[in-house]
């Protein structure tokens, strides 16, 4: 039985879904639809597929997200291999690393390549299409899935189907086209041979390496060098940074797929399979509104919200009550540190707000107030001149690094659980309703020796309170 390995590409930043999606915690890590994050839903997408031997999923991600993704896979109780990209180099190098990893198992599996931040609501239909695609991929084709369009969408690239290949509507790929204007998109819709480019692909690992070697030998060479010099780091497969940095940046489409349409006999055949399975790239707030369940007035609400005479509106509240009166076709998103109000027709322009935040050096473009760490998380509750207050939660058995600060002292109050505190040369326990003080310049460590989460309040005071004022001496997470 042919092995199918899910390959999950988790490199996007999702800036158009700000303020929920941030550079350091992008949309694929968020539970935007249901209880699972988009990444978790992607990993689950092949569960229960009969007649297929599923291999261990391969997740390709930025080093920045490694601990969060490892935790999300752990919560799924799913084994997965996490390949770390030290720098972003687009999807073609990422898939090349995945193919090298897959072949390292001694097999030549079929790879199912899926972006981590897309939605597919009809899993049964999707699995049927994948099963058809496997037959073609096993024979040496490179398969993509074209979304059957239901509107003249200008935000997607298109694939034109060519001759039928005799299987469930599958066609050879005639050409790829860029995002069209409205008139061209309408012409594509009327023509009937064009599909939205989903970014979903299938091929055997060896077929991809052969194709990328023919089309972009420079990418293959750099990825091979990075892989061969790589290492295993706990739960992660870490490629060599210097070698991967030399790799050119290119997408799967540009590097290989568009060259396949030139009918080069040295390249595999490209095939597009039509797909109507409730697909969305959730690229902006209007896309999210479209795929979420609505009330009779077309409103979507999450969190503590009150609406009066509102229609076709998306309202999300994370931190407090949000009330809306008499608005239509609007997006209102509230988080603890930022609020977005936008007309539904302008949600593609949210990225300009994020760009402005970056230029001004404001943290709201990169981080949430709640920041996840491999040991747990902290929430910046309050801050002012020479002080900062954080709520800190440490997972059972976890520990912060042994560290010191040049510019701040810290006062810790335990709210729940028990803290093991190292301060200088001494180590002691701090229980609920007890506190301790860490003077400026003192080596210290916080650990949770218990079996319940440790919750505490930290009050920082000093001349500088930035996160870069940390000198680490020991760290179990290798930071």
Look at residue 262 in the predicted model and tell me its pLDDT: 67
The answer to whether 141 touches 170, Cβ cutoff 8 Å, is no
Mean residue pLDDT across the chain: 94
User: With the C-alpha atoms ordered 330, 331, 336, 338, is the resulting torsion angle positive or negative?
Assistant: negative
Could you report the per-residue pLDDT of 442-473, keeping only the tens digit for each? 999 999 999 999 999 999 999 999 889 999 99
Highest mean pLDDT among 37-51, 99-113, 260-274, 414-428: 414-428
Give mean pLDDT, residues 177-198.
94
For residue 249, the 8-state DSSP code is: P
pLDDT > 90? residue 297: yes
pLDDT > 70? residue 476: yes
Give mean pLDDT, residues 355-380.
93
pLDDT > 90? residue 79: no
For residue 145, the 8-state DSSP code is: E
The answer to whether 23 touches 366, Cβ cutoff 8 Å, is yes
The rounded distance, in Å, linking the Cα atoms of 252 and 103 is: 19
The rounded distance, in Å, linking the Cα atoms of 288 and 119 is: 9
Q: How far apart are the first and last CA of the chain?
A: 41
Q: How confident is the model at residue 193 (pLDDT cuts 50, 70, 90)?
A: very high
pLDDT > 70? residue 237: yes
Give mean pLDDT, residues 311-323.
97
Provide, rounded to the nearest whole percent, the portion of the chain with pLDDT above 70.
99
Could you report the per-residue pLDDT of 12-27, keeping only the tens digit for each? 777 899 999 999 899 9
Look at residue 11 in the predicted model and tell me its pLDDT: 83
Could you report the per-residue pLDDT of 269-290, keeping only the tens digit for each? 999 999 999 999 999 999 999 9
pLDDT > 70? residue 292: yes
The rounded distance, in Å, linking the Cα atoms of 66 and 115 is: 16
What order do you get walking across the sheet with 330-334 strand by strand? 300-302, 314-317, 330-334, 339-343
Look at residue 99 in the predicted model and tell me its pLDDT: 97
Query: Minimal CA–CA distance to 268: which of 224, 177, 203?
Result: 203
Look at residue 106 in the predicted model and tell me its pLDDT: 80
- Least trusted range by pLDDT, from 28-37, 76-85, 278-287: 76-85
Give mean pLDDT, residues 379-401.
96
Place of tokens 């860029």: 178
Provide the β-strand partners of residue 435.
413
The rounded distance, in Å, linking the Cα atoms of 290 and 396 is: 40
The answer to whether 420 touches 413, Cβ cutoff 8 Å, is no
pLDDT > 90? residue 174: yes
Give mean pLDDT, residues 20-38.
94
Q: How many CB atoms lie within 10 A of CB 74?
A: 12
pLDDT > 70? residue 5: yes
Q: How many CB atoms lie within 10 A of CB 56?
A: 15
pLDDT > 90? residue 226: yes
The rounded distance, in Å, linking the Cα atoms of 432 and 259 is: 64
The answer to whether 267 touches 2, Cβ cutoff 8 Å, is no
Angle between helices 205-215 and 91-103 (to 10 degrees): 140
pLDDT > 90? residue 424: yes
Query: Minimal CA–CA distance to 201: which of 102, 269, 114?
Result: 114
Residues whose CB is less than 8 angstroms from the CB of residue 208 and which lie 6 or more positions away in sequence, other chains included: 95, 96, 99, 111, 142, 256
Q: How confident is the model at residue 168 (pLDDT cuts 50, 70, 90)?
A: confident
Q: How confident is the model at residue 35 (pLDDT cuts 50, 70, 90)?
A: very high
Provide, rounded to the nearest whole percent, the portion of the chain with pLDDT above 90.
86
Look at residue 469 in the predicted model and tell me its pLDDT: 94
Domains and CATH numbers, the chain: 3-280 (3.90.550.10), 285-356 (no CATH), 370-474 (2.60.120.10)
Give mean pLDDT, residues 66-80.
89
Cβ-based burial of 231 (10 A; exposed 0-12, middle 13-18, buried ≥19): exposed
């Amino acid at each position: 039985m042919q092995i199918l390995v899910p390959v999950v590409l988790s490199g996007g930043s999702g800036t158009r879904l700000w303020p929920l999606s941030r550079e350091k915690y992008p949309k694929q890590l968020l539970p935007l639809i249901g209880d699972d994050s988009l990444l978790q839903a992607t990993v689950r997408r092949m569960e229960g597929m009969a007649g297929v031997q599923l291999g261990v999923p391969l997740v390709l991600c930025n080093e920045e997200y490694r601990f969060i993704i490892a935790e999300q896979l752990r919560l799924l109780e799913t084994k997965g291999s996490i390949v770390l990209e030290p720098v972003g180099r687009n999807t073609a190098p990422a898939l090349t690393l995945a193919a090298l990893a897959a072949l390292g198992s001694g097999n030549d599996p079929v790879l199912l390549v899926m972006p981590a931040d897309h939605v597919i609501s009809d899993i049964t239909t999707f699995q049927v299409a994948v099963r058809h695609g496997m037959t073609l991929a096993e024979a040496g084709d490179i398969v993509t899935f074209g979304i059957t369009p239901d509107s003249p969408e200008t935000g997607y690239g298109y694939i034109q189907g060519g001759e039928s290949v005799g299987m469930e509507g599958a066609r050879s790929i005639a050409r790829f086209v860029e995002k069209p204007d409205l008139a061209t998109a309408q012409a594509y819709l009327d023509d009937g041979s064009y599909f939205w480019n989903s970014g979903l692909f299938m091929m055997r690992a060896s077929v991809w390496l052969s194709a990328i070697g023919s089309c972009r030998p420079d990418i293959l060479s750099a990825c091979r060098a990075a892989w061969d010099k790589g290492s295993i780091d706990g739960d992660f497969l870490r490629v060599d940074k210097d070698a991967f940095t030399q790799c050119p940046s290119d997408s799967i489409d540009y590097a290989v797929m568009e060259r396949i349409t030139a009918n080069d006999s040295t390249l595999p055949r490209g095939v597009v399979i039509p797909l109507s399975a409730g697909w969305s790239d959730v690229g902006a707030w209007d896309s999210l509104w479209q795929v979420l369940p609505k009330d009779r007035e077309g409103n979507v609400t999450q969190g503590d919200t009150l609406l009066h005479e509102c229609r076709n509106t998306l309202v999300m509240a994370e931190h407090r009550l949000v009330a809306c009166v008499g608005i239509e076709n609007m997006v209102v998103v509230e988080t603890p540190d930022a609020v977005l109000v936008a007309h539904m027709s302008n949600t593609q322009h949210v990225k300009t707000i994020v760009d402005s935040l970056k230029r001004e050096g404001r943290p709201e473009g990169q981080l949430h107030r709640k920041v996840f760490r491999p040991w747990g998380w902290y929430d910046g509750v309050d801050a002012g001149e020479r002080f900062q207050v954080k709520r800190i939660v440490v997972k059972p058995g976890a520990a912060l690094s042994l560290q010191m600060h040049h510019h701040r002292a810290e006062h810790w109050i335990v709210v729940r659980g028990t803290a093991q505190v190292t301060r200088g040369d001494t180590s002691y326990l701090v229980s609920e309703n007890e506190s301790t003080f860490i003077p400026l310049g003192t080596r210290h460590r916080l650990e949770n020796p218990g079996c319940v989460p440790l919750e505490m309040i930290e009050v920082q005071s000093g001349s500088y309170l930035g996160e870069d004022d940390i000198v680490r001496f020991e760290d179990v997470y290798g930071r």
